[in-house]
């Protein structure tokens, strides 16, 4: 946080750029970085690349989000996001670019994401519940937004070690 790159709108990929060796290396690097820090998602601007690329994978028993349901491995280029349900749901969000902090963010509970996959094929995914929040959080990174911008009640902004994530709080 504080690096100007995290506040920029990132650049779209050309389809033939997606399948290049350089981009495949970048994706590999992102998986390694995300796994090193135990995240469930990472966006390219977080590792200093201002381009429209994010990855998401929720594993069972993730250290940072133990209650989260697992997801497949998703590589997202050039996404657009559409709200499918305006009902808001709140989660304690954290971010590898804002280490050590969490805050409660309310976001739409169901979204559609249209994007290009690793082979530059068009894909559409519909995400609900926690996965919908993860998509919105990661895609925000591609448009210069951080979760702290979306906290309504700033008094929830807390150090991780101060938060006891009861099941009830996770439903906030
Ligand atoms: Ni983040």
Residues 6 or more apart from 52 whose CB is under 8 A from it?
10, 11, 12, 13, 44, 77, 78, 79, 142
Instruction: Give the residue numbers marked as catalytic.
Output: 138
Q: Would you state the pLDDT for residue 1?
A: 96
pLDDT tens digit string along 93-119? 999 999 999 999 999 999 999 999 999
Q: How far is the CA of 22 from the centre of ligand 1 (A)?
A: 23
- 123 closest CA partner among 131, 114, 132: 114
Q: What is the pLDDT of residue 70?
A: 82
DSSP secondary structure letter of residue 103: E
CA of 1 relative to ligand 1 center, distance in Å: 10
Tens of pLDDT along 125-139? 999 999 999 999 999
At residue 71, the pLDDT reads: 78
Residues of the chain falling short of pLDDT 70: 164-172
Where do we find the tokens 């350089």?
A: 22
Residues with Cβ–ion distance below 5 A, ligand 1: 95
120 in Cβ contact with 16 (< 8 Å):
yes
Residue 81 CA to ligand 1 center (angstroms) comes to 17
Domains and CATH numbers, the chain: 4-90+108-149 (3.90.45.10)
Percent of the chain with pLDDT over 90: 83
Cα 141 to the center of its chain, rounded Å: 7
pLDDT of res. 95: 96
| Cα–Cα distance for residue pair 97/34, rounded to 1 Å | 11
CA of 72 to the centre of ligand 1 (A): 19
Whole-Å CA distances, 95 to 123, 125, 146, 148, 149: 26, 23, 8, 9, 12
What's the pLDDT at 66?
A: 78
Whether the CB-CB separation of 77 and 53 falls below 8 Å is answered with yes
**Residue 152 pLDDT:** 96
Tokens read off for 9: 């709108």
- Taking CB atoms within 8 Å and a gap of at least 24, the contacts of 24-28 are 24/118, 26/53, 27/53, 27/55, 27/75, 27/118
Measured in angstroms, how far is the CA atom of residue 40 from the centroid of ligand 1? 9
- At residue 169, the pLDDT reads 52
- Closest-CA residue to 139 (of 167, 119, 163, 111): 111
């Amino acid at each position: 946080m504080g690096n100007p790159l995290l506040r920029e709108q990132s650049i779209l990929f050309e389809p033939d750029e997606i399948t290049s060796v350089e981009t495949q290396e970048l994706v590999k690097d992102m998986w390694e970085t995300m796994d090193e820090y135990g995240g469930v998602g990472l966006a390219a601007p977080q590792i200093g690349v201002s381009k429209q690329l994010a990855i998401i994978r929720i594993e069972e028993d993730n250290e940072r989000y133990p209650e989260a349901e697992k997801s497949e491995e998703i590589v997202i280029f050039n996404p657009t996001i559409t709200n499918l349900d305006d009902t808001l749901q709140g989660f304690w969000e954290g971010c590898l670019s804002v280490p050590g902090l969490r805050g409660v963010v309310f976001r739409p509970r169901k979204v559609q994401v249209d994007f290009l996959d690793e082979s530059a094929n068009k894909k559409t995914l519909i995400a609900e519940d926690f996965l919908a929040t993860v998509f919105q959080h990661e895609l925000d990174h591609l448009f210069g937004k951080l979760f702290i911008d979306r906290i309504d009640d700033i008094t929830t902004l807390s150090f991780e070690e101060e938060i006891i994530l009861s099941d009830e709080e996770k439903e906030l």
